[in-house]
Chain A
Amino acid sequence: AQSVTQLGSHVSVSEGALVLLRCNYSSSVPPYLFWYVQYPNQGLQLLLKYTTGATLVKGINGFEAEFKKSETSFHLTKPSAHMSDAAEYFCAVSERAAGNKLTFGGGTRVLVKP
């Protein structure tokens, strides 16, 4: 069975500061990994994904994440936070044999301070 752990349910950053959201996963097979963002009262939107190939993946809105197999991690970063980054972020894993069924982490809510 697969699982996802996001460290920190809430993160507060200053505008312009680094955003770092941590995600660790467990999976019995090579996983597909995703980060989704949810703005208030909206559905989930894909930020970025890792399937195969380059382990550093770039997404929308200046976010990127690095797949580290040895650490079973897929941490999300953005060099400089913007007020519009305030949202909830979800890490998710899909086992390739599971046909795109996603298992989500608990989410991290990001607050950006002016």
Chain B
Amino acid sequence: DARVTQTPRHKVTEMGQEVTMRCQPILGHNTVFWYRQTMMQGLELLAYFRNRAPLDDSGMPKDRFSAEMPDATLATLKIQPSEPRDSAVYFCASGLVPGTGDYEQYFGPGTRLTVT
């Protein structure tokens, strides 16, 4: 049963520390998305990649956030330095474009980040 995995599932850190979240997309998927979910803002798209190249990162605060895909099996989202307002659940999703009639994004379980 193929699924998106994310690590860590939970992260508590102090303000100013670096945070790295990892995502393993479903094997064969060529598109990876990073979303952030908060009570106030709901689900927001931060960035997404196609064939490991960044297509859109306009939703991401550029001064402290960075997203990369070192290889096809790993996507990372890094926050440096972290701030309390970054506390949220971060979801990774993957999909296959052009679709084969699927067009679905498959979501990971999320990383719950708390910055104190």
Contact = CB atoms under 8 A, between A and B. Distances in A.
Contacts of B99: 100
A13 to B, nearest CB: 22
A99 B108 CA distance: 19
A43 B90 CA distance: 10
Question: Secondary structure of the A side of the interface?
Answer: strand
A46 B104 contact: yes
A106 B103 contact: no
Contacts of A43: 4, 91, 107-110
Interface string B85-112: 0000001010101010101111111100
Contacts of A90: 43
26 contacts: A32-B103, A42-B109, A42-B110, A43-B4, A43-B91, A43-B107, A43-B109, A43-B110, A44-B91, A44-B93, A45-B107, A46-B104, A46-B105, A46-B106, A51-B101, A99-B97, A100-B97, A100-B99, A100-B103, A101-B33, A101-B56, A102-B45, A103-B45, A104-B43, A106-B42, A107-B43
Interface of A: 32, 34, 36, 42-46, 49, 51, 90, 94, 99-107
